[in-house]
Chains A and B, each alone.
Chain A
């Protein structure tokens, strides 16, 4: 009886402490989430009659997006979706996750000083503000006075305007560079959670670096990898920073979904359409996350065989 009352008191206190954060999350996360879904079924816009009195239009916004007549048109939803998937695969999965893992694995063998130097440099790319980073890359890539072209010139390579000639490659590299720090830090922590004796046993047994990685490290950090994949995929699906470099151009070559959404919602002021895209991106992210989690569970089941 007393303990029950005690529990009530402590849960009441707990609720009181959680209320401010709960209100903020509700206001800025939960409410917009449902609001976006609601808006995606209307023809709400910023200007005109529909701004004040949006009408329920059912699935029209979704059907418009997938309308076969316009789906693959230049600057349309189809090319943007396909571009974004490539962007995620190259700059997030191969770029950030793999690069982060490799960096963490390499830094393990470095001296403490070299390791913190490497981490510091990689972290710098991550913690700098977007606008600073955008400007730095502009300066770095500039056709005439950019650092990269100066370096290439010194090596007798022809100069190039990377943002015009290789815009997609550039934003992929940019995003990989920008985000690898998070994966590196996460994997570094994961690697440190492996007892040294595990790897030393393998050393004595004669395992190569690759064998140790494949047989011991990879299975032990599987959960960390899945977490990292989920986060990095979501972040890359929603990243807007490449806009600072290319603004989606030239001629829609870097028109990834966040930029496409921005164009529809805030340039054409079609909130309803924009919201529908947002919902679809959300569903894609959900699908990716479920896929990763299933991968992890399959791994766990294989692990737990014979239980």
Chain B
């Protein structure tokens, strides 16, 4: 296994910058997810690491070795594609062993190694079948086995679970987690599914419009999102964001928005600095930090929009005066009884503030 460094890499198609300038250091044995909506450049970044695309500028190192202009085969990587890319005319065994075949490994040794990997991935009894004769989850594991059969420095995954149905996806996710952690694989994993990124990563690189917005461990991303984009992308449902107007009062900084009732807060240097740049402040609250109760001081008032009982929790959505929707995640077996006007309460300490540019205002929590 090896580390991967992206050094100011960029990719342009004509005048359009798909990737602007990315620095990314992935440690040996790390599992890094490139997370973002479609078109954010995450797959292009992965393909540049693989050598399937050439960066327009910048450099790539794998294990300290400069591979910026190396062919894919000279990078010693394993890769899993979204569509699995299993060869329909080859048996599962031949598919798994194909990287060994092109390297000139003898047929017996190939077969033995393929069986070994297939054992690990619980597909050893399928070796003589064709890809069309096995399930989607088994196909996914075959494609994983093919990437693993040859010892690589790093493994690249391009949305490998997105073709599976929801149940299989969760199962395969845990499998992948176990495999990567137990083998100490260096992995780069592209996904648009924030739950996958949260579950698998040691660190997540959240991407937006060709840039990395935040690169941090999953819980840090969740608790301290760097921008409103990250806050609104990570979490299911994501963080509630309420655009508010800030004014200085005797009692502190007052935040006002339709439906928001919040006691003035004591300012701190970072907030003062942010207010100098603009008085539009975004108030962010995670759904699990909202309660249905008439608490003191901090409240959100609106009309009931939806009340979804999920089993262990209920997702209650209010529509505020100006049309903004706010969702609370209420834990408990009993369904929430509520209709018409409703009020959510929250602690000021649970609030994340973003400045006028959408960047997190540091320092409060």
Q: Which residues of A contact B (CB under 8 A)?
A: 195, 197-198, 200-208, 211, 215-216, 219-220, 303-304, 306-307
Contacts and interface: CB of A to CB of B under 8 A. Distances in A.
Interface string B62-83: 0000000001110101110111
Interface in B73-115: 73, 75, 77-79, 81-83, 85, 87-89, 91, 98-99, 101-103
B89 A204 contact: no
28 contacts: A197-B82, A197-B83, A200-B50, A200-B72, A200-B85, A201-B146, A202-B98, A203-B51, A203-B52, A203-B71, A203-B72, A204-B72, A204-B78, A204-B79, A205-B73, A205-B98, A205-B103, A205-B150, A206-B73, A215-B87, A215-B98, A220-B87, A220-B89, A303-B130, A306-B91, A306-B128, A307-B130, A307-B133
A203 B71 CA distance: 8
Contact of B130 (A205, A215, A306): A306
Nearest to A218: B89
Contacts of A200: 50, 52, 72, 79, 81, 85
A281 B220 CA distance: 78
Contacts of B71: 203
Nearest to B52: A200
A203 B146 CA distance: 13
B129 interface: yes
Interface residues of B, number: 29
A202 B91 CA distance: 16
Nearest to B152: A204
Contact of B81 (A197, A205, A207, A215): A197
Main secondary structure of the interface of B (DSSP, over half): loop
B76 to A, nearest CB: 9
Given A216-B87, A303-B89, A202 B130 contact: no
Main secondary structure of the interface of A (DSSP, over half): helix
B88 A208 contact: no
A211 B83 contact: no
B130 A207 contact: no
Nearest to A211: B102
Nearest to A198: B85
B99 A195 contact: no
Contacts of A219: 87, 89
Contacts of A304: 130
B23 to A, nearest CB: 24
Contact of A206 (B52, B81, B85, B103): B103
A216 B86 CA distance: 10
A195 B102 contact: no
B191 to A, nearest CB: 17
Contacts of B89: 219-220, 303
Given A200-B52, A220-B89, A206 B102 contact: yes
Nearest to A302: B89
Query: Which 6 A-B pairs rank lowest in CB-CB distance, beginning with the nearest?
Result: A206-B73, A205-B99, A197-B85, A197-B81, A207-B102, A219-B89
A225 to B, nearest CB: 14
Interface string B129-171: 1100100000000000010001000000000000000000000
Contact of B88 (A202, A205, A220): A220
A307 B88 CA distance: 13
A307 B129 CA distance: 7
Contacts of A195: 83, 85
Contacts of B99: 205-206
A306 B73 contact: no
Given A198-B85, A201-B98, A219-B89, 4 more contacts: A203-B71, A204-B77, A205-B99, A205-B102
A71 to B, nearest CB: 45
A203 B133 CA distance: 26
B113 to A, nearest CB: 14
Contacts of B133: 307
B350 to A, nearest CB: 44
B102 A208 contact: yes
Contacts of A201: 79, 81, 85, 98, 146
A307 B99 CA distance: 24
Contacts of A198: 85, 87
B130 A204 contact: no
Contacts of A216: 87
Contacts of A205: 73, 98-99, 102-103, 146, 150
Contacts of A203: 51-52, 71-73
Most B CB within 10 A of own CB, among A198, A204, A215: A204
Contacts of A220: 87-89
B118 to A, nearest CB: 15
A204 B99 CA distance: 8
A173 to B, nearest CB: 35
B105 to A, nearest CB: 11
A219 B79 CA distance: 23
A207 B103 CA distance: 8
A206 B89 CA distance: 20
A215 B102 CA distance: 10
A205 B88 CA distance: 17
A211 B101 CA distance: 10
Interface string B333-353: 000000000000000000000
